[in-house]
Structure 1
Amino acid sequence: MKYLLSFLLFLSMAQCRDKNVAPETLQPLVGKWRLEAYEVTNNGKKEWVLAYDNRTPANYLIFRSDGAILHRNDLGICCGPNALNINGKTFEINPQSPIPYNPGCALIDCIGCPTWEIKLTDDEFILTLCSLSSKSKYVRVP
């Protein structure tokens, strides 16, 4: 009987473990990032195209320490993910403070991706949406 109780206690404790990756995985992503380029396919060849020039304003993403994602105007993004897969490790987004409502989202019919794939290296990351070939390159803004 003692072994059965010990086993049940062990099982219940195993279920209580944190399903989020340690914040250390998210920390390098926290801050402001500028969309630098996006990948396109021309004549069967993939290439990067600059995302902005003198005529178009730069596009920014801001990652908070709880995983929440904001636009450059500090409003929530439309159709955001529920989780981030950062270099193969999943981080579930659980905002610890309210995300400012973005009124522009009322005009969008969301078919978002539940998880964003992010390949992070130092001050750059590649964002892949919905496991498709849609890739965007972001660089850290100091």
Structure 2
Amino acid sequence: MKAKGLLLFLVMVIAWSCDEKRLAPDEIKPVVGKWMLNAVKQGDDAKQWEPIAPKDATVFEIRYDGVILDANGLPACCVPSYLVYQGNKFTIEPKEKLAPNPSCALVLCLACDTWYLELENGQLITNACNSGGRKRFTRL
């Protein structure tokens, strides 16, 4: 009986410690908008941002509900389920019906359900899956 009680206590402690603050849509307003890639850092040890020529830059949009759209306003392929901004997790839940993006049928996505976002000097810095590689975007 003591073992069951201890096990229940441990499960409750683990569940409580995993509970994260959830961001509300108004808390992600600073990152909502259209963004164009302007530089990348290949890893955590990279000291310099490598610039991206405007002709090679990708564009995406973060909608008010966290949905990631491509440059054509269609749902982007290989998008996360969560955004982490200012250390808090935001679950992406579409508030409007999304049109299908036929391009996504041609893309093989790697599993990455979380994008980490920072705003630095008016630029958006993303780190998909906390992988070390970072991308920097300017607002359009």
> TM-score, normalization: structure 2?
0.76
Q: Aligned to 2:23, which of 16, 21, 24?
A: 21
DSSP 3-state at the match of 2:48: strand
- Quote the Cα distance in structure 1 between the aligned partners of 2:120 and 2:46: 24
Structure 1 residue 122: deviation in Å? 5.4
Identity of aligned residues (%): 34
Could you tell me which amino acid in structure 2 is paired with residue 108 of structure 1? Answer: V
Note the aligned Cα RMSD (angstroms). 1.8
CA contact (8 A) 2:41 2:48 kept: yes
Q: Give unpaired runs (5+ residues) of structure 1.
A: 1-18
The reply on whether 1:126 has 2:128 as its aligned counterpart is no
Q: Render the CA deviation track for 1:24-47: whole Å, top value 9, x for unaligned.
A: 321111111111111136xx7432
CA 100–50 in structure 1, closer or farther in 2 if over 3 Å, else same: farther
CA contact (8 A) 1:40 1:47 kept: no
Match of 1:49 in 2: 50
> TM-score, normalization: structure 1?
0.75
Could you tell me which amino acid in structure 2 is paired with residue 86 of structure 1? Answer: Y
Q: How does 1:1-142 map to 2 (within 5 A)?
A: 20-40=22-42, 45-53=46-54, 56-121=55-120, 123-141=122-140
DSSP 3-state at the match of 2:60: strand
- Quote the Cα distance in structure 1 between the aligned partners of 2:27 and 2:89: 9
- Quote the Cα distance in structure 2 between the aligned partners of 1:45 and 1:73: 32
Larger Rg: 1
Q: Render the CA deviation track for 1:89-122: whole Å, top value 9, x for unaligned.
A: 1110000112222211111111131110011235
Q: Give unpaired runs (5+ residues) of structure 2.
A: 1-20
CA 109–88 in structure 1, closer or farther in 2 if over 3 Å, else same: same
DSSP 3-state at the match of 1:46: coil
CA contact (8 A) 1:67 1:94 kept: yes
Structure 1 residue 60: deviation in Å? 0.8
How many residue pairs get matched?
A: 119
